[in-house]
Amino acid sequence: MSVQDSASPEKKVDKVIVRHVRADFGAELNAAPAGAMPVKEFSANGPNSASRKAEGQTGAPDMPGRHVVFVLARQASGEYPVVKVPEQDGIPAREAIMFFTQSETATLYVQVARTAEYAIKSLAPQEAVSLVHSVRSQGIEWIIVDPNRRHQEDGRSGGAVIQIAALDHDPSGENLYQEFFHVTNGQPTKS
């Protein structure tokens, strides 16, 4: 997976988004047909591997609803926005990649920003981990979950902030997915 910084010198993005990054998830993650549900990385139900295998064979869902997180991507290029998180609790200002726990929260963010530049993209847990590793290789060490656009415009953090290094103990997609819901207590921040 590769990431490229695509900050455009000829166009000021806005006062919240400081630049964009491009990510190539590789052939195996790009192989899903357009509009298809992302493949789940794991099976949560069942006391042992035999029951989880049986669940996979029956097609029964392992969790209710869609097991995905959401990001914004430029409609034209697929680039992901990077935002500036202000100084907070003695931690200097830093750049972060945005993730949303619900599509509605991402939609509200775009509506508050009053832009049609972004599409909302769903990512399976393993895709989210690939994106996190990719942006980290470009010096982005923070994630902001369910950002609140109005708070960001006012110079506040505007969401739950996670340092990527804090996730090194378990770099799996499932851990990342659970951390997002833990920091928001399962409730998205309202924009």
pTM of the full predicted structure? 0.70
pLDDT in tens, 80-113: 999 998 888 888 889 999 999 999 999 999 999 9
74 is a domain residue: yes
What is the identity of the amino acid at 64? P
Residue 33: which residues within 8 A CB-CB, separation 6 or more? Answer: none
59 is a domain residue: no
- Scanning 39-190, the segments in alpha helix (DSSP H) are 49-58, 103-113, 125-136, 149-153, 173-183
Sign of torsion over alpha carbons 84, 99, 157, 89 = negative
Residue 80: domain span: 2-31+67-183
Average pLDDT, the chain: 74
53 is a domain residue: no
List the beta strands (DSSP E) in the chain.
Answer: 2-5, 17-24, 69-74, 80-85, 94-99, 118-123, 142-145, 160-163
pLDDT in tens, 18-72: 888 887 665 444 444 444 444 444 444 444 455 445 444 444 444 445 578 999 9
Longest dimension (CA), the chain: 57
Please give the pLDDT value at position 66. Answer: 59
CATH number at residue 165: 3.40.1350.90
170 is a domain residue: yes
pLDDT in tens, 114-163: 989 999 999 988 899 999 989 998 899 999 999 999 888 887 767 889 99
Report whether 162 contacts 136 (CB < 8 A).
Answer: no
Q: Could you report how far apart the first and last alpha carbons of the chain are, in Å?
A: 31
Instruction: Provide the number of structural domains found in the chain.
Output: 1
